[in-house]
Chain A
Amino acid sequence: MLRALGLVAFLGLAAACGSAGNSAPEDGDQSSTGSGAPLNIQPGAGLKVEAVWEQGPAVGVDNSFVLKIESKQGFLVKAITVTPWMTIHNHGSGNVQPVVTPVADSIGTWRVSNVFFVMSGPWDLKITIRSAQAGADDSEETEHRLTVPVTVPAS
C-alpha cells in the first residue's frame, strides 16, 4: 500500500526560483499523510507538487516515490533532480543518485527510485524542478527548489 508523502503546494509562476532553505511554508495548500512531513516550499511560485511513497522510507533499501507536478499556467517540466540530504549531519548518501523517470500514460508524473538513506533520522529530499513556458527556448527556464523533510525510521 502506498504511503503518502502527501505534499501539495502551489507556487506562483512569477516568483524567482526557490532556494532550499528551511523557512516555514508561508502559503499554498499543504497536506501530509504517511511518513513524510509537509513540503517546505517557497511562497508565491506556481507549481502544484505531490509526492507519494511507493517504497520506504527506510534505511539501506531502494526507496521510491511518485512525484506529481501540475502547473496552472501550463509550464513544461524540463528536468527534475532529487538529492537525499541529511541536513543536520551535513551529508548525503555517497554516490547513490536517485533515478527520475516519467511515468507512462500519466502526464506530469515521475517515478523517483534508487533513493538511498545511509542512516535513519531526519532527512531532506532536495528536489530541483526546471520548467519553461511552452514554446519558450531553454534560456527562459525557471528553476524551482523544494525541500521535503522526511523522517527515516530506525527499523
Chain B
Amino acid sequence: MRRCLSQLAVTILVAGSLLAARASDAFGCASCGSGGDDPLVLFPAETVKLLAGTSATPALASTGPSGELLASLGPQRRLSSTFAAGIGFSPRVFFVLAQPVINNQRDGRSRTVLADPTLNARYTILMPRLTESYLPQVQLVAGFRPSLAKSAATSTDPALLDVGGSGHDEYRAGLDVWMGMMPQVKPGLSAVITESAPVRMNDVAIRPGRLIRVTASVTSTVEVPVPGLVHTVPVKLAGGMTADRRQPLTQDGTEVPGSSQAANGLFASGDVAAGDGNTVKMTWARQGAIGQTRNSVVASTWSLAWSRVMQ
C-alpha cells in the first residue's frame, strides 16, 4: 500500500511538472503531435473538442540585450485562463480558436484583460498507420493572431498591467514532425516561424523581427497503479525544450541594434483521462531555463487544463 502511494505521489509530481507552454499561455503541449504552442490538438477521429485552462506565473523577470536582469515596475505575477475550441474538418485538417484572458498583478493592484485571440490550423501531410512504427506524422502548422488587445507600446497603465498582446498582427507557419507510432518513447520536433505586421508608432514603422521557435519533445505513457482501483491509470507524460530566436526589431526598415531576442525553455506535462472524453493536463514550463535570455522574460508557469471531446 505504502509503495503504491509513493508511486502515485511520484507520478503526480512528474505529471504535475509537465507540458509545453509559453510562459504566458495556459495551455500545454499538444495532445497529439509534438506540440509547439497550440492550445489544443485534435486526433484524426475527433471533430469537436473544447479546452479550458488556467495558469499561474508567480514571478516575471525581464532581461536586457545582454541577458542581464532588468529592474522593472511592470507586472510581477500573471494569472491567465484560456478557452479554446477545435473543429476537425477531416481526419487531416482541423482549426482551433483560442481566447486567453490575462490578469496582470503588481503590488496588490491587478487588471484583467482579454488577450489577443489565436486561430490555428493543422494539416496532416503524412499520416502513418498504427503498424508503421518508424514513419513520422508530419503536419503543416499555420496560425494567425490579430492584434486586438493593448500592447506594451499602447499601454495606458504605468505598470503595464493592461497589456494583453504584442501590438502586431502575427502570422505563423511551420512543420511538426512526430514519431507517434513508436512503441515506447515518441520523439517530436517542430519548427514554427512567426512574422509580425508593422505598426506605426511615434511616426515610425515598427516591425518586430522574425521569430523562429523550435520545440523538441518526447512523450510516453506510463501505467500508474491507483489505490482502490483494480486497474492502472495511463498517464501520458511529455517533456522537452523550446528555443526561441527573434531577429532584431526594425524601424522604417532599419534594424535596431541590440533588439534581437533569445530564450530557451523547458517544459514537462502529464495528462490523464478523466472519463468519457475528458482529459486533465498539468504543465510546468520554464522560459529562460537554459543559456542566455536576451530581451525576453524569465518565468515559470504552472498550468492546469481540461479538454473534452464533444464529437
Interface residues of A (CB under 8 A from B): 19-23, 59-60, 83, 85, 87-96, 116, 118-122, 126, 145, 154-155
Give Cα distance in the complex from A154 to B63, angstroms.
11
Known A83-B202, A85-B202, A122-B258; further 15 A-B contacts with Cβ < 8 A: A21-B254, A22-B254, A23-B254, A59-B73, A88-B65, A88-B258, A88-B295, A89-B62, A91-B155, A92-B155, A94-B155, A94-B156, A94-B158, A122-B65, A154-B69
B282, CB-defined interface residue at 8 Å? no
Chain A interface helix/strand/loop/mixed = loop
Tell whether, in the assembled complex, residue A90 and residue B64 are in contact, meaning their CB atoms are under 8 Å apart. Answer: no
With beta carbons under 8 angstroms apart, the residue of B156, B157, B158, B206 that contacts A90 is B206
Tell whether, in the assembled complex, residue B70 and residue A120 are in contact, meaning their CB atoms are under 8 Å apart. Answer: yes
Tell whether, in the assembled complex, residue A119 and residue B62 are in contact, meaning their CB atoms are under 8 Å apart. Answer: yes
B204, CB-defined interface residue at 8 Å? yes
Tell whether, in the assembled complex, residue B73 and residue A119 are in contact, meaning their CB atoms are under 8 Å apart. Answer: yes
Contacts of B262 in A (CB 8 A): none
B71, CB-defined interface residue at 8 Å? yes
A23's closest neighbor in chain B, by CB?
B254
- Nearest 3 Cβ contacts at the A-B interface: A91-B152, A119-B72, A95-B156
Tell whether, in the assembled complex, residue B153 and residue A90 are in contact, meaning their CB atoms are under 8 Å apart. Answer: yes
Give Cα distance in the complex from A24 to B258, angstroms.
15
Contacts of B295 in A (CB 8 A): 88-89
Give Cα distance in the complex from A14 to B249, angstroms.
31
Give Cα distance in the complex from A93 to B204, angstroms.
18
Tell whether, in the assembled complex, residue A22 and residue B155 are in contact, meaning their CB atoms are under 8 Å apart. Answer: no
Give Cα distance in the complex from A125 to B100, angstroms.
34
Contacts of B143 in A (CB 8 A): none
A-B contact pairs, 24 of them (CB 8 A): A19-B204, A20-B202, A21-B204, A21-B254, A22-B254, A22-B257, A59-B71, A59-B73, A87-B249, A88-B259, A89-B259, A89-B295, A90-B151, A90-B206, A91-B155, A94-B158, A94-B160, A120-B64, A120-B72, A121-B64, A121-B68, A122-B65, A154-B69, A155-B71
Contacts of B252 in A (CB 8 A): 19, 21
Give Cα distance in the complex from A94 to B73, angstroms.
11
With beta carbons under 8 angstroms apart, the residue of A22, A87, A154 that contacts B70 is A154
Q: A22-B254, A118-B159 are in contact. Are A90 and B71 (CB under 8 A)?
A: no
